[in-house]
Amino acid sequence: MSLQLGDIAPDFTAQTTEGEIKFHDWLGGAWCVFFSHPADYTPVCTTELGRTAKLKSEFDKRNVKVVALSVDGLEDHKGWINDINETQSTTVNFPIIADEDKKVANLYGMLHPNASETFTVRSVFIIDPNKKIRLMITYPASTGRNFDEILRVIDSMQLTDNYSVATPVDWKEGEDVVVSPSIPTPEAKEKFSKGVKEIKPYLRMTPQPNK
């Protein structure tokens, strides 16, 4: 059975470029971005891993840990990291899982035989501190991921977990948000002191409550 949103992220033990990790223990109480790569020494992935390393401070301030996976071995990973650091002018600062037997890739459904019989697809999982899968995105191998979007989604989920709001189309940090439909308008006007704009009875906007 394939993984779905709300499922507990499967636990595993794996060797990584930063030593052995038991996934749930390593994650602790943090959020997690877990993403796969078709293979080492691939051009698009090289740019992605470099971008991820440069975003460390952004992930840190959101209490997010990052872990990558490729079905190649540790020695290949180490050589590839040297290339990433050199070509992307950064230092890789997160673990990359060595998954030569494809156990973790299969556990997370990262192998799509109709796309490739040997390579993982470009999967992204966002996992919350309760170990629940909150987002899944799958990209084709030819398309690099948008890490600004990944950060945007994390911002949205962390906001909406703590307030009775949702985020509208193309929302960015600091913009107005949608009042939850479950809250009657009179109650919403009391709850959201910055004001509620009623566009339709089911569509009410309010300034981002934690700004």
Active-site positions? 45
The total of other beta-carbon atoms located within 10 Å of residue 121's CB is: 18
* Sign (positive or negative) of CA dihedral 5, 99, 19, 44: negative
> From CA 22, how far away is CA 27, in angstroms rounded?
9
Give every strand in the sheet of 177-179, ordered side by side.
165-166, 177-179, 203-206, 197-200
